[in-house]
Amino acid sequence: MDTILIDGLSFALPLLIMAIGGIYCERSGITMLALEGLQGFGAFTGAAAVVLCGLKLGMGSPSLIYIAMAVSMIGGLVFSLIHAGLCIKFRAQQVISGVVVNTLAMALTTFLTSVINGLITGDASNKFQIGVSIRFTVPGLSRIPVLGGLFKNMYPFEIVILAIAFIAWYVLYKTPYGLRLRACGENPHSLDAAGGDVGKTRLMAVMICGALSGLGGIFLAYSISANYSPNIYMGYGYLSIAALIFGNWKILPTFAVCLFFGFAKSAGYQLCLFLGMPGNYSDLLLVLPYVLTLLLLIFFSRHNHPPRALGEFFDKGKR
């Protein structure tokens, strides 16, 4: 049981931080299907920083994970400007823009990873070895029956994600910026009439989404394996999008959905080990979160209420 809780939480929280970025973006009125690409490019920049800094600091340095966090946020933020420029400045179709960003990120990170590895080691591998993150156990709380597993063998990034999630909730619902952001996704003309800048509000929301997605990407790299590869992110960005939709574009319900996905994945993996199933059957059970996504889509999508102006271009001349 402890293993299910530990692994489930370490998978759910990176999904949550990406989903929060998606909530910010879509509550501003910009459709965000580019989470997959933003997390991949952000993770690539963070992993590249770990490899380059590790040459001087040593790959065992505990400071590398914090360098990876900072650089991955910057990388995701910068890459998100492509989506922001296409959707806000050039008024491109937002769904197509998201697909383009995802495709570009996959191709670009695969190429750049091989180039950097070739320059450093002479081996044009498409993986970065980033090492294993440290873990810690919270004294006292870890001895709670059943739920104590949530506080055992925690990654440092789990505390970071929970802190960011609380700040994101407070900003969205308790600050003037959060009010402008929500108004931007519901009725951008009302924000414009009140003196707000719709374009800047949406641009900042996309940038926040990029930074948080990059952060989630590098956390997935540390929690899934000890290396970065463009292939390990397939589907996780879309799973975050599913979580925010089922969470009705609200942070707390989305948190619950991410936990559901995370524990489903870890429980499926532990079931495979318990039954001693061969690899092909274990791979089948690991798609459990995606099957659950389809079921949730069937039964609950009719109750979802997206922002009214989601995906609509803002035309100042129309009110």
**d(Cα 293, Cα 264) in Å, to the nearest integer?**
11
pLDDT-based confidence at 282, cuts 50/70/90?
Answer: low
pLDDT of residue 112: 94
What would the DSSP string read from start to end of 33-99? Answer: --HHHHHHHHHHHHHHHHHHHHHHH-TT-TTHHHHHHHHHHHHHHHHHHHHHIIIIIS---HHHHHH
pLDDT tens digits for range 133-145: 788 888 887 888 8
For 278-311, letters b (16+ CB in 10 Å) and e give eeeebeebeebbeebbeebeeeeeeeeeebebbe
The predicted model gives 81-93 an average pLDDT of: 94
Measured CA to CA in angstroms, residue 150 lies from 134, 251, 290, 294 at distances of 16, 20, 23, 27
Give the residue with greater pLDDT, 275 vs 85: 85
Contact between 156 and 140 (Cβ < 8 Å): no
**d(Cα 135, Cα 155) in Å, to the nearest integer?**
5
The packing angle between helices 64-84 and 94-121, to 10°, is 140
pLDDT of residue 252: 95
Measured CA to CA in angstroms, residue 187 lies from 86, 105, 197, 255 at distances of 21, 32, 13, 26
pLDDT-based confidence at 123, cuts 50/70/90?
Answer: confident
pLDDT-based confidence at 34, cuts 50/70/90?
Answer: very high
pLDDT tens digits for range 39-59: 999 999 999 999 999 888 887
The predicted model gives 154-171 an average pLDDT of: 93
